[in-house]
């Protein structure tokens, strides 16, 4: 089986493969590492036959997102060596450990990446988050849509519907989220131009090669910069205080941003509820209630 992967990886990378090793599975995708004949190490995601649907879209979205984030020239991302409907081949980043200083530098670089901006909300490619589709389309309305309206329609409504229809959220648990959607205009904060965001920035998607923060596995799109910072806080990024310090020293955040953290965390919590079931329902309702108070 690894021989088949070696041929596929070599064709995408344009270099013969010296060795391939299994590295596990996640979200219905097979993970491998490989060494190319020229000595470069690569990381590979491959579709599992009969596994997650939409693999072709997932690999294209990740490749597009990595290239787009790289163009900001701010935070390191792995180079994309090749992608097709069944396989994604990217540079394998070496391991490393975060330090307070590196975290502060990462925060500053993240602020610059966000400041590179986006032409609009969403992205010109269909998105994917974990194994779920992510609608990156603009809203079909006259004039430029506000971030709040876009977030409600493209990030909250689809996953609330999926979680409720799938039985992961009860009608009572869904009601606070419905209230957030109804009041989104008052909760979204002051208007900002679209930022170039990672879109799935939990701590596991920040690596520290050579002690410098780098990004992997994006759900990249034009969105709100507070979304990335709220995601870092959701599952406990190392040295978060230093990340925030580096960020705000580089580009200040809008007044009241801390009170909007639960609003931005609501989408990833709904995604987790869709993926893993009702265990996340209490966090969803708690975040929605906090967002309403904010």
Lowest model confidence (mean pLDDT) among 3-17, 180-194, 256-270: 3-17
Q: Residues 6 or more apart from 213 whose CB is under 8 A from it?
A: 75, 76, 98, 102, 103, 105, 106, 109, 110, 206, 207
pLDDT at 171: 97
- Give me the mean pLDDT over the 18-38 stretch: 89
pLDDT at 53: 45
- 83-108, pLDDT tens digit by residue? 998 899 999 999 899 999 999 999 99
Three-class secondary structure of residue 254 per DSSP:
coil
pLDDT band at 219 (very low <50, low <70, confident <90, very high): very high
pLDDT at 85: 86
- 109-166, pLDDT tens digit by residue? 999 999 999 999 999 999 999 889 999 999 875 455 699 999 999 999 999 999 999 9
In 235-245, which positions are buried (b, 16+ CB within 10 angstroms) versus exposed (e)? eebbbeebbbb
Say how far residue 194 (Cα) sits from the centre of its chain. Answer: 16
In 177-187, which positions are buried (b, 16+ CB within 10 angstroms) versus exposed (e)? beebbeebeeb
**What pTM does this model have?**
0.94
pLDDT at 4: 77
pLDDT band at 57 (very low <50, low <70, confident <90, very high): confident
E strand or H helix at 125: none
Three-class secondary structure of residue 206 per DSSP:
strand
% the chain with pLDDT above 90 = 85
What's the longest Cα–Cα distance across the chain?
A: 58
Neighbouring CB atoms inside 10 A of 18's CB total 14
- 223-254, pLDDT tens digit by residue? 999 999 999 999 899 999 999 999 999 999 99
Question: For 91-95, which contacts have Cβ atoms below 8 Å and span 24 or more sequence positions?
Answer: 91/40, 91/41, 91/42, 91/43, 92/33, 92/41, 92/42, 92/43, 93/43, 93/207, 93/209, 93/214, 93/216, 94/41, 94/209, 94/210, 95/207, 95/208, 95/209
Delineate the domains of the chain, giving CATH numbers in brackets: 2-91 (3.30.200.20), 100-293 (3.90.1200.10)
């Amino acid at each position: 089986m690894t021989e088949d992967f070696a041929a596929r990886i070599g064709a995408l990378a344009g270099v013969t493969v010296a060795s391939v090793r299994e590295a596990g599975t996640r979200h219905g995708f097979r993970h491998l590492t490989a060494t190319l004949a020229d000595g470069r190490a690569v990381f590979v995601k491959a579709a599992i036959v009969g596994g997650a649907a939409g693999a072709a879209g997932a690999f294209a979205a990740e490749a597009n997102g990595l290239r787009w984030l790289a163009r900001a020239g701010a935070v390191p991302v792995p180079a994309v060596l090749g992608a097709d409907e069944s396989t994604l081949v990217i540079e394998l980043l070496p391991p490393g450990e975060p330090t307070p200083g590196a975290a502060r530098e990462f925060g500053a670089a993240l602020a610059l990446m966000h400041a590179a901006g986006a032409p609009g909300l969403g992205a010109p490619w269909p998105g994917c988050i974990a194994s779920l589709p992510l609608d990156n389309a603009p809203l079909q309305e006259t004039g430029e849509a506000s971030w709040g309206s876009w977030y409600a329609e493209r990030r909250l409504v689809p996953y609330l519907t999926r979680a409720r229809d799938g039985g992961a959220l009860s009608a009572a648990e869904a009601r606070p989220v419905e209230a957030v959607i109804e009041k989104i205009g008052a909760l979204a904060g002051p208007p900002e131009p679209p930022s170039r965001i990672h879109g799935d920035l939990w701590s596991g998607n920040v690596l520290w090669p050579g002690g410098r923060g780098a990004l992997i596995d994006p759900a990249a799109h034009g969105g709100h910069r507070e979304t990335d910072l709220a995601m870092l806080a959701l599952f406990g990024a190392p040295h978060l205080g230093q990340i925030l310090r580096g960020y705000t020293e580089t580009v200040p955040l809008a007044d009241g941003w801390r009170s909007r953290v639960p609003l931005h965390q609501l989408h990833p919590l709904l995604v987790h509820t869709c993926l893993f079931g009702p265990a996340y329902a209490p966090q969803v309702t708690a975040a929605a209630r906090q967002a309403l108070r904010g």
